[in-house]
Amino acid sequence: MNEQEILTSFLADFIQELVFNGVKDVVISPGSRSTPLAMMIAEHPDLAYHINIDERSAAFFALGMAKQTRKPVALLCTSGTAAANYYPAIVEAKISRVPLIVLTADRPHELRDIGAPQSIDQINLYGKHVKWFVEMSIPDPNEELHYFVRTTAARAVNLSLQAPAGPVHLNFPFREPLIPRLEPSPFEETKQSVKSSQGKLILSNGELERICMDLETQPKGLIICGVIDEPDFAQAVLTLSERLGYPIIADPLSQLRSGLHSSEAIIDNYDSFLKDGKYEEKLSPEVIIRFGAMPVSKPLTLFLKKLKKVDHYIIDSGSGWRDPIKMGTQMIHADEILFCEGISSRIKNEPNNKWLQIWQQLNRNTRKIVTKTIEDVQELDEGRVVLELTKLLPNNSTLFVGNSMPIRDVDTFFHNNQKNIRVMANRGANGIDGVVSSAIGASVYGENLFLIIGDLSFFHDLNGLLAAKMHHLNITIIVINNNGGGIFSFLPQASSSKNFENLFGTPIDVEFEYAVKMYGGNYKKVTNWNEFQSSINRAIETSGLNVIEVPTNREKNVQTHRNMWNHVSQEKSKLLTGDTLC
């Protein structure tokens, strides 16, 4: 074999095995050193490739696509700082457990650390933020190497999926010439492959029985579902709740607030009614069973932190230690669905309906007040955007939610509904970066994609919009523009820093209309609720990129929230001290 054939055969083995193990999408950023991989990936009949120029956006785009499809997505870039631009999305993917297969091209050994252009030290470039790093060999006809190449591809896919899912990094040194041989197709030969499967963690019968016995002695329990996105989890946890009579506190990212399943036990207004920190003794459980990453609600966190002598189970299929409130008493590393099923099938007691009813009634009453208070706000308001949007979203939608204020508003104002709405956010590291690209990546295989995002976060990843234009994707972006860092207005520095507006408020005073036009999108800045409703409805019917900007006011937003919390607090006081509950 000549050099070109060696290169081609080496990469054909690698790519073929990625495909064999289920990779369907590769996000490619243009570059020179990555030429052989790029050209061959483009040639494979079963791979879709997606060009994304800015590597930071590219990696977040891949992350969004992997979230949406629940499959590993591969990434390819050239050597140098290109690869360093992947870092934020890789960090996010590691914590939020999203499978990514990061392929970086590199200079060969003889060009490293001697001042050659575009050469940086790429060995372990992402440190502890990837699950696996492999320095690939230079392509070589050695027979053993074929096995190495194929199994490295198989293992990369396997590891990226094995709970906790996450990113892996393979670094490919290439020598010139970089052009592979594409005629005849290098993928035609059938080759030996290794298929890998991932098992799930399950507790022993003995352990499940022990836990059941404990739970049966504790009729007042709470199930808490944080960030979790497993298609069969909703049914499993609802059955568990029914057997135990425990209400389910459901974060918007638990995927429990939407869908045709029963919503009777699902508590979705806790963020509002726990806010005042009063009458907690009436709501105190004896036991807590928690699934998924910690919910976003701070009032919930503070409520939980006071429950000192409560048995607190944390179930985690990814064997993490998800206990930022440091209240866990039982850390259970087991698949969440298998755990629910294991307990549900063993519980024999009748549930305590009164306990459940208190939570249900409080939740219902709060929902009424929250809805009423916010619907009374006539001017444009951040909370009401979420409430209105929930009504308008079509069935089978994905709602991608930006960090900082939007996720908190969605927590408060996105209530139980019967539609099929998948809610996503980058809640691994909670960055405001890369959100646009993640949502656009999720739109590739998701219908009716809506992103709700703040102005700073929108600005941070404006480059992400290019992918929507280049790939003719359909997405509607609702930009809540309070001209700066709105969340800081809720923090102590709002009153104590004379440099507040410079350091934290940071108004950027830009008209996003220009950017949207540049990327060929439809843009509308709304001035009232009628316009908001008609803009959303128009966007639903208009393909391509739609951006709806909602100008709001940071100070008014703080006021509206505080006003609503006051109303809720009064109602809660009536309910929990009065005779309305029996």
Written as one letter, the residue type at 118 is Q
- Write out the binding residues for a second copy, residues 308-337 only, by CB under 8 A: 320-324, 326
Pattern 510-549, a second copy, x by CB under 8 A: xxx-xx-xxx------------------------------
3-state secondary structure of 6: helix
Pairing between β-strand 167-173 and β-strand 545-551 as defined by DSSP bridges: unpaired
- Choose, by CB under 8 A, the member of 1, 109, 116, 305 that binds a second copy: 116
**Residue 456 interacting with a second copy (CB under 8 A):** yes
**Residue 342 interacting with a second copy (CB under 8 A):** no
> 4: part of which helix (H) or strand (E)?
helix 3-20
What is the closest distance, in whole angstroms, from the C-beta atom of residue 262 to a second copy in the complex?
29
**Residue 56 interacting with a second copy (CB under 8 A):** yes
Applying CB under 8 A, which part among 46-54, 164-172, 217-225, 413-421 lies near a second copy? Answer: 46-54
**Residue 4 interacting with a second copy (CB under 8 A):** no
**Residue 194 interacting with a second copy (CB under 8 A):** no
- Write out the binding residues for a second copy, residues 469-508 only, by CB under 8 A: 469-470, 485, 487-488, 491-493, 496-499, 502-504, 506, 508
| Structure token pair of residue 301 | 């966190």
- Choose, by CB under 8 A, the member of 22, 24, 30, 551 that binds a second copy: 30
Which residues lie below 8 Å from residue 3, measured CB to CB, with a gap of 6+? Answer: 177
Q: Which is nearer to a second copy, 76 or 223 (CB)?
A: 76
Number of alpha carbons in the 13 Å side-chain half-sphere of residue 295: 31
Written as one letter, the residue type at 24 is K
- Choose, by CB under 8 A, the member of 236, 389, 466, 539 that binds a second copy: 466
- Choose, by CB under 8 A, the member of 97, 129, 275, 561 that binds a second copy: 129
What is the closest distance, in whole angstroms, from the C-beta atom of residue 155 to a second copy in the complex?
23
What is the closest distance, in whole angstroms, from the C-beta atom of residue 102 to a second copy in the complex?
14
Applying CB under 8 A, which part among 6-14, 249-257, 454-462, 472-480 lies near a second copy? Answer: 454-462
Pattern 403-442, a second copy, x by CB under 8 A: --------------------------xxx-xx--------
Q: What is the DSSP string of 69-94?
A: HTS-EEEEE-STHHHHTTHHHHHHHH
- Write out the binding residues for a second copy, residues 252-271 only, by CB under 8 A: none
Rounded to an integer, what distance in angstroms lies between the CA atom of residue 574 and that of residue 578?
A: 5
- Write out the binding residues for a second copy, residues 148-177 only, by CB under 8 A: 177
Q: Which is nearer to a second copy, 350 or 509 (CB)?
A: 509
Pairing between β-strand 167-173 and β-strand 132-135 as defined by DSSP bridges: parallel
Q: Which is nearer to a second copy, 85 or 193 (CB)?
A: 85
Indicate the Cα dihedral angle 148, 152, 154, 158, nearest 10°.
Answer: 140
- Choose, by CB under 8 A, the member of 1, 109, 124, 447 that binds a second copy: 124
Rounded to an integer, what distance in angstroms lies between the CA atom of residue 149 and that of residue 268?
A: 49
3-state secondary structure of 233: helix
Which residues lie below 8 Å from residue 373, measured CB to CB, with a gap of 6+? Answer: 560, 563, 564, 567
**Residue 564 interacting with a second copy (CB under 8 A):** no
**Residue 120 interacting with a second copy (CB under 8 A):** yes
- Write out the binding residues for a second copy, residues 375-394 only, by CB under 8 A: none
What is the closest distance, in whole angstroms, from the C-beta atom of residue 92 to a second copy in the complex?
6
What is the closest distance, in whole angstroms, from the C-beta atom of residue 499 to a second copy in the complex?
4
β-strand partners of 266: 248
Q: Which is nearer to a second copy, 20 or 459 (CB)?
A: 459
Helices (H), 490-553: 493-496, 500, 512-518, 529-541
Rounded to an integer, what distance in angstroms lies between the CA atom of residue 137 and that of residue 10?
A: 10
Q: Could you give the C-alpha distances from 6 to 37, 425, 513, in angstroms and in order?
A: 13, 43, 51
3-state secondary structure of 294: coil
Distance of CA 494 to the CA centre of its chain: 29
Please answer whether residues 483 and 508 qualify as being in contact, where contact means their C-beta atoms are separated by less than 8 angstroms: yes
- Choose, by CB under 8 A, the member of 5, 71, 87, 352 that binds a second copy: 87
Question: Binding-site residue total for a second copy (CB under 8 A)?
Answer: 90
What is the closest distance, in whole angstroms, from the C-beta atom of residue 85 to a second copy in the complex?
5
The sign of the torsion formed by the CA atoms of 496, 498, 503, 505 equals: positive
What is the closest distance, in whole angstroms, from the C-beta atom of residue 422 to a second copy in the complex?
22
- Choose, by CB under 8 A, the member of 125, 386, 410, 477 that binds a second copy: 125
Strand order in the sheet with 48-51: 48-51, 25-28, 73-77, 100-106, 167-173, 132-135
**Residue 449 interacting with a second copy (CB under 8 A):** no
Q: Which is nearer to a second copy, 418 or 506 (CB)?
A: 506
Q: What is the 3-state secondary structure (H, E, C) of 257-272?
A: CECCCCCCCEECCHHH
**Residue 202 interacting with a second copy (CB under 8 A):** no
Rounded to an integer, what distance in angstroms lies between the CA atom of residue 176 and that of residue 110?
A: 12
What is the closest distance, in whole angstroms, from the C-beta atom of residue 293 to a second copy in the complex?
6
Q: Which is nearer to a second copy, 217 or 493 (CB)?
A: 493
